[in-house]
Structure 1
Amino acid sequence: MTEGNFVDYVKVQVASGNGGKGSVHLHREKYITKGGPDGGDGGRGGHVIVRGNSNLWTLVTFKFKKHFKAGHGEHGSKNRSTGADGKDVYMDVPLGTVVRDTETNEILFEITEQGEEKIVAQGGMGGRGNWHFKSATNQTPRYAQPGIPGEEAQVTLELKVLADVGLVGFPNAGKSTLLSVITSAKPKIADYEFTTLKPNLGIVEHRNFTSFVMADIPGIIEGAAEGKGLGHYFLRHIERNASLLFLIPADSKDISKEYEILLDELRRYNPELLDKERLVAISKSDMLDEELMAEMKVELDKDLKGTSYLFISSVALQGIQELKDKLWALLNE
């Protein structure tokens, strides 16, 4: 999937169908000149329904189609015949899609399961035909109910990537390189910051034919929680990850400080993110000799306060299997 095809935020207009009118009809047939009322009910207007589809990874289809209008219910007719219901319209979305009211920003619902269906615009009820209104004192009512109008709304679709492990780190920490080594994903890799502008997903194959999904999320900068850099456009993707892998390069000026800044950005965006299981990986560790690594371990044991960490190198393939094992253990505790 190319970056241009990854769309995770879009606004669409939805309109449900109107209910059909109830019929005003008096029964007439040969030899029955004054039959009673037999007008049928109007049909229900069509719903606009949001449906989960596990085969989709992006909201790109809504980039080109932004208006969804359901069919109107048909009017009732004689012999108590009910009009046909309006045709429902389905909007297929990836799992992890949040639907908001654009005007109030209120969350209406979330789609997290395959085939899950939620009505975003309810079709209007059909009106009742005149046969409902006959009584001892009014045996030939000449009125019926009109159908109820459908609903119109603008909604915002917001995709939060569903993955088992989310990669968190500053720009150029080596997240895309790690993803390309540990999975068969082919993210864009270059030696400048913000190479990754959209989340990338890859499947990590573990031992005994087991696997889990890893997401490479664009790099965090200080102030991301306030919307600086790519801000909320990528922080929301971290919310849906089961556990977090913090990636900090070995050539960083202060590994512990970088880790604290990353934690602080997550805390300010959503404190619940700190409840997730997390692991710290020191990347680019092929640049370190054993003596330097031993010195760093002493500092990290003191500064990371019990947080589990390990040294890896995506280029030299050092510590990759150990990383997979630790992530698998985190996910299955």
Structure 2
Amino acid sequence: MTEGNFTDYVKVFASSGKGGRGSAHLRREKYVAFGGPDGGDGGRGGHVIMRANPNLWTLIHFKYKKHFRAGHGGDGGKSRSTGADGEDVVMEVPLGTVVRNSQTKEVLFEITEDNQEQVLLQGGKGGLGNWHFKSSTNQTPRYAQPGIEGLEGEFILELKLLADVGLVGFPNAGKSTLLSVLTAAKPKIADYPFTTLKPNLGIVEYRDYRSFVMADIPGIIEGAAEGKGLGHYFLRHIERNSILLFLVPADADDVAKEYDILLNELKRYNPELLDKERLVAISKSDMLDDELKTELKAELDGQLKDVPYMFISSVAQTGIQELKDRLWDLLNPVEV
């Protein structure tokens, strides 16, 4: 998945179909001059349906088709024949899609399970035929109901990545490099901030053919919770991760302070994020000699009291297997 074709936010317009008209037909045959009413009901209008497709990872297909209209119901016929139902429109979306009303921003539903289907807009009901209105005082009603109009509206589709592990860190902390080492993903890597502008997903292969999914979230800056930088556009992806892996470079002025800033941004965005399992990885640790590493450990033991941390280097490939082990153990805790 490249940055150019990853789309996680789109607006679409959808309208369901109108119900068909009921028929006001009166039965007339050669030997039945006054057969009475036999007009059938109109068919229902087509629904607009959202369906989960586990093979999709992005909303890019909605960039090229943003209008969806279901078919109208068929009109009723003679001999109490019901009109055909309007053709449904199915919008396939990736797992993790959130659907909002465009005007109120209200969350209507979320698509989180394989092959889950949710009706976005109900089709209009078909009108009743005239035979429904026959009575002892009105044996030949010459009227029938019209079909009910369909619904329409503009909707926002947001994608929140479904990943086991989310990488959290400042720009240029080494997240993309780590993802490229742990997985087969090929994110853009360069020695300047904000190289990554879109989330990247990768599958981490573990022992015995087991695996888990890791997401590289674009770098956070102070004020991200208020929308600075890319703001909410990437913070929402962290909400669906089981574990948060904080990446702080070894050459940071104050490792613990950087971690605190990152944690504070997540808290301001959504306090529930602090309930997730956390692990701090000190990246670029190949820049530290044994003496510096010992000093840093002494500082971190006092500052990061309740949070596990470890030293890694994506370039030197040190601590990588241990990192996989720690993440796997957090994802699959052993029940005592």
Short-chain TM bin: over 0.9
Deviation at 1:2, TM superposition (A): 1.9
- 1:289: Cα distance to partner? 1.3
Question: Which aligned pairs between 1:141-152 and structure 2 lie closer than 5 A?
Answer: 141-152=141-152
* CA drift at 1:265: 0.1
CA distance in 1, matches of 2:264, 2:109: 29
Amino acid at match of 1:113: E
Q: Give the equivalent residue in structure 2 for 1:34.
A: 34
Q: Superposed, which structure 2 residues align to 1:150-299 within 5 Å?
A: 150-299=150-299
Q: 2:123 matched to 1:140?
A: no
Which residue does the alignment assign to 1:72? 72
Measured in 2, the distance between the counterparts of 1:137 and 1:259 equals 82
Paired AA for residue 201 in structure 1: L
- Which residue of structure 2 lines up, in the alignment, with residue 23 of structure 1? 23
Aligned to 2:49: 49
TM (norm. structure 1) is 0.99
Q: Distance between the aligned counterparts of 1:168 and 1:180, measured in 2?
A: 15
Q: What is the alpha-carbon distance in structure 2 between the residues aligned to residue 324 and residue 12 of structure 1?
A: 40
Taking only aligned residues, the RMSD between alpha carbons, in angstroms, comes to 0.6
CA distance in 1, matches of 2:177, 2:159: 24
CA shift, 1:245, in A, is 0.2
* Separation of aligned partners in 2, 1:19 and 1:114: 31
In the comparison of the two structures, how many residue pairs are matched?
A: 333
User: Could you say what secondary structure the match of 1:234 adopts?
Assistant: helix
Alpha-carbon distance in structure 1 between the residues aligned to 2:206 and 2:301: 28
How far does the alpha carbon of each residue in 1:75-115 deviate from its partner, in whole angstroms, 9 at most, with x for none? 00000000000000011111000000000000000001121
Q: Cα distance, 1:225 vs. partner?
A: 0.2
3-state SS of 2:235 partner:
helix
The aligned amino acid for 2:265 is: E
Amino acid at match of 1:199: P
Q: Deviations over 1:116-157 (max 9, x none)?
A: 111111100000101111111111111111100000100000
2:26 maps to amino acid: L
SS of 1:44 mapped into structure 2: coil
Give aligned-pair identity as a percent.
76
Aligned equivalents of 2:119, 2:101: Cα separation in 1? 13
1:89 alignment partner AA: V
Q: Which residue of 1 aligns with 2:123?
A: 123
State the SS of the aligned residue for 1:82.
Answer: coil
What is the identity, as a one-letter code, of the residue corresponding to 1:57? W
Gapped regions of structure 1 (runs ≥ 5) = none
State the distance in 2 between where 1:147 and 1:256 align: 65
Look up the SS of the partner of 1:105 in the other structure: coil
Alignment correspondent of 1:314:
314
User: CA shift at 1:185, angstroms?
Assistant: 0.4
User: 4+ residue stretches of structure 1 with deviation over 4 A?
Assistant: none
Structure 2 Cα separation of the partners of residues 164 and 2 of structure 1 = 20
Structure-1 residue corresponding to 2:63? 63
Distance in structure 2 (CA, Å) of the matches to 1:301 and 1:130: 82
The amino acid across from 1:103 in the alignment is Q
Q: Which runs of 5+ in 2 are unaligned?
A: none
Distance across 1 between alignment mates of 2:171 and 2:279: 18
Aligned mates of 1:137, 1:314 — CA distance in 2: 87
Counterpart CA distance in 2 for 1:302 and 1:7 is 42
Segment of structure 1 superposing worse, 25-34 or 196-205: 25-34
Q: CA deviation at 1:183?
A: 0.5
Q: Which residue of 1 aligns with 2:92?
A: 92
CA distance in 1 between counterparts of 2:40 and 2:236 reads 50
In 2, the alpha carbon distance for the partners of 1:282 and 1:6 equals 29
Moved more, 137-146 or 39-48: 137-146
Residue 177 of structure 2 aligns with an amino acid whose one-letter code is T
TM superposition shift of 1:237: 0.4
2:3 paired with 1:9: no
Distance 1:306 1:85 in 2: 60
**Cα distance, 1:292 vs. partner?**
1.3
Deviation at 1:219, TM superposition (A): 0.2
Residue 25 of structure 1: CA displacement?
Answer: 0.9
Q: Deviations over 1:229-255 (max 9, x none)?
A: 110010000001111000000000000
Corresponding residue SS for 2:329: helix
Paired with 1:122 and 1:254, the residues of 2 have a C-alpha distance of 56
